[in-house]
Amino acid sequence: MEYLHSVFDKLLRETSSTFHRYLYDEIDWGSRMIGIMGPRGVGKTTMLLQYIKEHLSRKDTLYVVAEDLYFSSHTLIELADQFTKIGGRHLFIDEIHKYKDWSRELKLIYDYHAELQVVFTGSSVLDISSGVSDLSRRVLAYTMQGLSYREYLQLRHKISLPKYSIKQILQQEVTIPDGFLPLEHFSDYLHRGYYPYLHDDHYATYVQAGINATLEIDIPQYYDLSVSMMRKLKRLLGIIAQSAPFKPNMTQIGGQIGMSRNNISDLCELMQRAGLIGLLRDSTNGIMSLGKLEKVYLDNTTLIYAIGNPMVEIGTVRETFFFNQLRTVSNITASPVSDFLVDKTYTFEVGGKHKKQKQIQGIDNAFVVKDDSETGYGNIIPLWQFGLLY
């Protein structure tokens, strides 16, 4: 216990509070059990430590990492028992997916220690409602995504812009501050702005390391995949990276990898949950996750430049940015007449500054989203503004 506290103290001293992720103010921090899921590298750990540092008493709070060597000879339940006996009130557990019986033990901690608040983070592949220890009725769950363009501007360039709803953006209510050039940093954001930890020109190496850890550790460990299946998962991501966005032929891809089309679909779902790809479906079934798969994208534009085709097409980057940013706050599906349909109401055609209206003529609530434009008018919306949604 003394060792865990010493590690915790060091991490608190090193934690900066100059920048908060968007989710920080959306979490109900008073709940008894909170789960924060998300892809690797989006800032979950920093957010936990910031909240502890700013709001909690150090004497009754403890932060641990679930893969710490302490747990090679102790269990989470033992830790919770010992911690509460010395007055512990708030237990924060990072990377819970690296602890084998995490769901069962969290359930027992919740049931046995009503006086203890538990906050945990985990990979976005976790499903708190699966298995024999269904935590969905006990855990208030959140999912964190990578940086929006708005957050990137604040973190990297100390430029503060407010959040805007999609309705405010479409009604041309975005106000550009004096001296702010909306496109000055937009290209850098698209290249390496999605993950908070990317500071230098080695961003591609860091991104690839995160991808490998997701494919080799997070997904196989949680779903008990074999080494052979893990290799096929990597091959599948390689195919997607070279082709995205594309309308997938699962039978053809299965033939390349040596798997059935159903297994390919399952692996795609896993990679989407892990924050590696985005699956754009139609809305014919009424539920976004059950619609027919229309296109497969890499999850964000930083992934495109880090692992994608060396000949990156700007049209791919535009669509990926739009899809990625809208997914965080809205229901986005494939449009039967254009690129995207958002919240079953708004139709969007995404392109460059010379994009025409032809494809959306006669359609209600239809908009042209233009790259390389600072301001919009009528139904023409600058692409960068969709980076202000969160």
All structural domains of the chain with their residue ranges: 2-143, 153-388
Best-predicted range by mean pLDDT (61-70, 218-227, 261-270): 61-70
Report residue 76 as tokens.
């989470």
For the stretch 284-308, pLDDT in tens is 654 555 679 999 999 999 999 998 7
pLDDT at 264: 92
pLDDT at 51: 98
pLDDT at 225: 86
pLDDT at 344 > cutoff 60 = yes
All residues at 6 or more sequence positions from 69 whose CB lies less than 8 Å from its CB, including other chains: none
| Cβ-based burial of 282 (10 A; exposed 0-12, middle 13-18, buried ≥19) | middle
pLDDT at 285: 58
pLDDT at 10 > cutoff 80 = yes
pLDDT at 56: 98
For the stretch 75-112, pLDDT in tens is 999 999 999 999 999 999 999 988 988 999 999 999 99
For the stretch 218-230, pLDDT in tens is 888 878 888 899 9
Do 90 and 62 form a contact (C-beta atoms < 8 A)? yes
Do 109 and 118 form a contact (C-beta atoms < 8 A)? yes
Cα separation, 59 vs 61, in Å, equals 6
Report residue 371 as tokens.
């790259």
DSSP codes of every residue in 175-239: PPPTT--TTTTHHHHHHH-SSTT--STTHHHHHHHHHHHIIIIIHHHHHT--HHHHHHHHHHHHH
H-type alpha helices, 218-329: 219-223, 227-243, 250-257, 261-273, 301-307, 314-327
Using DSSP, state whether 4 is helix, strand or coil: helix
pLDDT tier, 155 (very low <50, low <70, confident <90, very high otherwise): very high
pLDDT at 131 > cutoff 60 = no
CB atoms within 10 A of CB 84: 17
| Cβ-based burial of 273 (10 A; exposed 0-12, middle 13-18, buried ≥19) | buried
Tell me which residue of 330, 362, 339 sits closest to 167, measured CA to CA: 330
Do 284 and 133 form a contact (C-beta atoms < 8 A)? no
CA 44-47-51 angle, 5° bins: 145
pLDDT at 218: 87
Cα separation, 309 vs 307, in Å, equals 7
Query: Which residues share a beta bridge with 341?
Result: 333, 347
**Tell me, what amino acid is at 222?**
Y
Q: Looking at 114-118, 125-129, 376-380, which range is the least confident one?
A: 125-129
**What's 2-143's CATH class?**
alpha beta
- What mean pLDDT is reported for the chain? 93
Query: Which residues share a beta bridge with 281?
Result: 293
pLDDT tier, 349 (very low <50, low <70, confident <90, very high otherwise): very high
Cα separation, 297 vs 282, in Å, equals 14
Q: Looking at 79-93, 244-258, 273-287, which range is the least confident one?
A: 273-287
Return the axis-axis angle of helices 261-273 and 227-243, rounded to nearest 10°: 80
The larger pLDDT score, comparing residue 39 to residue 358, is at: 39
Best-predicted range by mean pLDDT (18-32, 132-146, 198-212, 232-246): 18-32
